[in-house]
Structure 1
Amino acid sequence: MSGLFKNDYIIKEQPSPTQEIIQKGIDKETLNKLLERIKEGDLPTKIRTLQILNEKIKLTDIEQRKRFLEEGLEILLENLFDENQRIQELTLRVLESLIKGISLSANASLKIFETISIPRILENDFVFLQLVNTFKALKFIKPHPSILNYLTEMTLSRDDRVRVLGTWGLWRFLNSTRDIRSTEILEGILSKIPSLLESDDETVVEVTLELIKEIATRYQDSGEIIKRSFAWIKAMKEIEKSGSWLIRSELKRTINYLIEVIREYYRMRINESFRVLEDLIQEERYEDAMTLAGIIGNEDIIKWVSQKIKENKREKEKGIEGLLRLVSGPKYLNIHPDLTEKTIYIPRLSYLTIRKKTVENDGNADSKFELNKMKKDLSNLMTKLRSSDRAEIIDALWELYELSNEINSQNVEEFKLFVPELLRIFSSTNNEWVVDKTAKILAKILSILPNSQENINDIAKFLFLEDKHRMRALIFFKYYLKNKWDKNAWELILKYLPRLLTKKKTAIWTLGIIEIIIDTIPSDETERLWELTTILKDLNSKVPEIVERRIKILIEEINKKLKDPRNIRINVKSE
């Protein structure tokens, strides 16, 4: 009981200083007491004072909060550097309560931005996410140039968390002011989204997804933002393939939300949807055209797009004489009838045509082929591969891909005859699916086939060409080196490493190849990793930011590999 009995009366204890503060409003004297305890008090005092402050601020009016910001902001921001997470947590809650509903002055804004631009503060996920919430509530009194300049600087940071906070800050600046450069600011925000989506930090990706939804909601009547949303969906689909289950779930929700926004926009603007689809078809972006038609979900539009694609392909083919065997790979041939479901529609391979299996595996052979029995069927498969009917070629590739899992040293000679035809298709098609499947089949055959160096060298020649052709070689080598360690192939990659890593598009696949090498290189070959480390260190400052971070991680992995006692013994022995 908090009272004392004396002469049958309850005599109340004198209130403690903390209780006095709770009972009083925040006048100047009380504010100074609170700030002194936050700055000078021991850990329990600081924690209790911050708790009281958070409770009191929620009950104060805007003018009192503005006064507190002027007097106490710097002390609060200093607490963000405290090693005690509870202090950090309570400070962030106080900061969020203070800022809510207030238009910040330029001075207060810059103090906050300067503090949170220090990456060390943002390393803790809780602190980072709490600051994201704070940034979502930002308002500014007027479009002061210094605020805009500082936020823009933040978006150029080498730290992804600082960059995404800066981008959110720009978004709030755009929404709370009437700056004459609003179009320029919006474009700046939109330009940052693709690289933020590609961040290795999934928390940054998650925060970016929230921003995307806000932008799509605010500008749901803007044709330009709708087009951007469609591009974002494509990027998210790629990220979804390799992300953790948690980020995949967030990506799926955002994709579904954007699909609804896009669908609603084009259903209300049918004529515009036809113009956009026509442009996609003329640019030979058939897959995008079919995907967009599937999102809109109008049966007449889908039929129209299908017909237009066929007509456009026929016109292109007429203009190409003497190249009867050119394979550009059909994007889509027939349209799946059920487009009522509200998800992105991308026809599956099985919808392209009715597949007739050429090679039948009777199930009794298990992993072995009854080669004599199959020779005729393999011959028919080659006929389909050489066909001028693109659907036949797709079928043949699909069957070869399924069979490639069964290729081994006993039956590889039977598949050798496919190599020239597969190389022809690999070098001539622009269809990503065809490139990928052909690369996998070739990688399996050539990794087992003796004396395949000449073919490997032919594929390596693509590394001399422009980026889209280099990609073919990189896709092949990623699969090939996963199947087999080949020092000659690795030396080819090593030779072109500087050129491949300085461009973002080729860098991602090249880094994937390096990861495979680190994992699969034989113990007696690990000394080769010293040369790789030297090249990576030299390149570290010359590559895109996202690549630089991956390179640092790879160098750490290589060092671990080289420190492995088994590898040390082998390297010493070889010396």
Structure 2
Amino acid sequence: MRNLESYPKLSNEETRRELEKVIASGKTSELTELALKKPEVIFELERKLEEGDKFDKMDALWALSKLAERLDSTKALILEPAVEPLMKISSSKNRWMRRRAAKTLATLASKAPYGDEIVGRFLEWYLSDGEDKAVPSLEFFSYYFLKTWDEKTAEIVLSRLDEFIQEEETSFDALMTLEAVITSIPPEKAEILRNYVPLLERLKETAPPEVQKLTIRILDEMALKLKALFSRRDALSLQRRSPCL
């Protein structure tokens, strides 16, 4: 694959028309084919994110989200120019755009060679005291942990997740992040989840209905994960007692 810097950053009219046609068709296979044949379309999508109107931004977010899903780790290199504008949109006030950008970045973070840089940026937001960065970082991690298990990052996120769960403004998104962690955490690591049970039991009784419903679902999922942990321990214990198994 050629270095992306070797492609023109200003796409020509023909390329722009091709991109618009593919976006209008909604055919992700044609979009992927075009991006691989003419990677300069990524610069056009970047331009839409930075300079376009609301509809241009929505089109670009759709296209980038589909490309992030379909491209493998090597081919995802062509999407790197879009990371910075996606970061900006992931902290916008438009919830749909913000969450679409966060989901796309989470997909890239889980597979692209520059994924660690994306995770690092969101960890900085997460650990800062900026209220405007709390929800975007939680939204990102709620998608990221659905894509992959990252123990080092999980330890950092879990270190203060209970704070966000108890804050009304961030409670729902923090619980979504916890649910994602529960989904991806290996059973042998699940013991750490027990620390959240008292807080979740309290929320189940006192939180608003939407949060209560989510909390009950999380407790059920946590119980299944812990059950898997103990089943695994029982199996290992049985193996130790019966080496022939």
- Cα separation, 2, equivalents of 1:453 and 1:567: 31
More RCO (CA 8 Å, sep 6+): 2
Pair 1:462-2:125 in alignment: yes
- Which residue number corresponds to residue 545 of structure 1? 206
1:291-440 matches, within 5 Å, as: 357-358=19-20, 360=22, 369=33, 372-387=36-51, 389-427=53-91, 429-440=92-103
- Which residue number corresponds to residue 195 of structure 2? 534
Deviations along 1:381-421, one digit per CA (max 9) or x if unpaired, are 22222326555334322332343332322421111221122
Counterpart contact for 2:106–2:143, Cα < 8 Å:
yes
- Cα separation, 1, equivalents of 2:152 and 2:31: 30
How far residue 466 of structure 1 moved from its aligned partner, in angstroms, is: 4.8
How far residue 452 of structure 1 moved from its aligned partner, in angstroms, is: 2.1
How far residue 436 of structure 1 moved from its aligned partner, in angstroms, is: 1.3
SS at match of 1:458: helix
Q: Given residue 506 of structure 1, which amino acid in structure 2 is its aligned partner?
A: T
Pair 1:481-2:145 in alignment: yes
Distance 1:411-1:370 versus aligned 2 partners, 3 A rule: farther
- Which residue number corresponds to residue 567 of structure 1? 232
Identity of aligned pairs, percent?
23
Pair 1:504-2:165 in alignment: no
SS at match of 1:567: helix
When normalised by structure 1's length, the TM-score is 0.33
Give structure 2 stretches of 5+ with no counterpart.
1-16, 240-245
**Structure of greater Rg:** 1
Distance 1:448-1:539 versus aligned 2 partners, 3 A rule: same
- Which residue number corresponds to residue 5 of structure 2? none
Q: Given residue 437 of structure 1, which amino acid in structure 2 is its aligned partner?
A: R
How far residue 440 of structure 1 moved from its aligned partner, in angstroms, is: 1.5
Deviations along 1:425-460, one digit per CA (max 9) or x if unpaired, are 323x22212211111111111111135223212112
- Cα separation, 2, equivalents of 1:473 and 1:364: 28
Q: Given residue 111 of structure 2, which amino acid in structure 1 is its aligned partner?
A: I
SS at match of 1:513: helix
- Which residue number corresponds to residue 4 of structure 2? none
How far residue 555 of structure 1 moved from its aligned partner, in angstroms, is: 4.0
Distance 1:496-1:384 versus aligned 2 partners, 3 A rule: same
Distance 1:553-1:446 versus aligned 2 partners, 3 A rule: closer
- Which residue number corresponds to residue 110 of structure 2? 447
Counterpart contact for 2:19–2:31, Cα < 8 Å:
no
- Cα separation, 2, equivalents of 1:542 and 1:380: 46
Counterpart contact for 1:359–1:399, Cα < 8 Å:
no
- Cα separation, 2, equivalents of 1:504 and 1:537: 18
Distance 1:557-1:432 versus aligned 2 partners, 3 A rule: closer
How far residue 468 of structure 1 moved from its aligned partner, in angstroms, is: 4.6
SS at match of 2:22: coil
Task: Say which is worse superposed, 469-478 or 397-406, in terms of deviation.
Answer: 397-406
How far residue 536 of structure 1 moved from its aligned partner, in angstroms, is: 3.3
How far residue 472 of structure 1 moved from its aligned partner, in angstroms, is: 0.9
Deviations along 1:327-377, one digit per CA (max 9) or x if unpaired, are xxxxxxxxxxxxxxxxxxxxxxxxxxxx99447389795796365522132
- Cα separation, 1, equivalents of 2:111 and 2:165: 29
Structure (1/2) with the larger helix percentage? 2
Pair 1:494-2:155 in alignment: no
Counterpart contact for 2:204–2:216, Cα < 8 Å:
no
Deviations along 1:469-520, one digit per CA (max 9) or x if unpaired, are 3111111111111122222332222011221111233222222222233233
Task: Say which is worse superposed, 529-538 or 367-376, in terms of deviation.
Answer: 367-376
- Cα separation, 2, equivalents of 1:395 and 1:367: 12
How far residue 378 of structure 1 moved from its aligned partner, in angstroms, is: 2.2
SS at match of 2:62: helix
When normalised by structure 2's length, the TM-score is 0.70
- Cα separation, 2, equivalents of 1:571 and 1:527: 11
- Cα separation, 1, equivalents of 2:47 and 2:217: 47
Distance 1:570-1:375 versus aligned 2 partners, 3 A rule: farther
- Cα separation, 2, equivalents of 1:449 and 1:406: 12
Distance 1:560-1:483 versus aligned 2 partners, 3 A rule: closer
SS at match of 2:33: coil
1:515-534 matches, within 5 Å, as: 515-522=179-186, 526-534=187-195
Counterpart contact for 1:419–1:442, Cα < 8 Å:
yes
Give structure 1 stretches of 5+ with no counterpart.
1-354
Distance 1:360-1:445 versus aligned 2 partners, 3 A rule: same
- Which residue number corresponds to residue 344 of structure 1? none
Count of residue pairs brought into register by the alignment? 215
Counterpart contact for 1:503–1:543, Cα < 8 Å:
no
- Cα separation, 1, equivalents of 2:36 and 2:131: 43
Q: Given residue 385 of structure 1, which amino acid in structure 2 is its aligned partner?
A: L
- Cα separation, 2, equivalents of 1:384 and 1:550: 36
How far residue 544 of structure 1 moved from its aligned partner, in angstroms, is: 7.4
- Cα separation, 1, equivalents of 2:47 and 2:93: 22
Aligned Cα RMSD in Å? 3.6
Distance 1:432-1:381 versus aligned 2 partners, 3 A rule: same
- Cα separation, 2, equivalents of 1:493 and 1:359: 41
Distance 1:568-1:550 versus aligned 2 partners, 3 A rule: farther
